Amino acid sequence: MQQRHLDNEVSHDQITRFLKNSEFTSKDIFYVVIANNLKFKYVLMDIWFASTENSEYIANKNKEFIVAII
């Protein structure tokens, strides 16, 4: 039996379609990802997520963040 390799990469188009058809906002998904028990230290975010609320949320989860501020 041949094993199939599952590609874990998700394209930008797939994410866009998911968000357009979802009851969840990108901010909802952002919070779920941060709250998950995944092992990571840093959150890299773009200007869309650069807010005091998001930064405090990340810091309260004992994570570090890198964000571009214009």
Rounded CA-CA distance 1/67 in Å is 46
pLDDT in tens, 12-59: 777 777 777 878 887 888 888 888 777 889 989 888 888 899 999 999
Phi, psi of 65 (to 5 degrees): -135, 150
Inform me whether the pLDDT recorded for 4 exceeds 80.
Answer: no
Q: Where are the domains of the chain?
A: 12-67
Label residue 60 by pLDDT band (50, 70, 90): very high
In the chain, the amino acid numbered 21 is N
42: enclosing H helix or E strand: strand 42-45
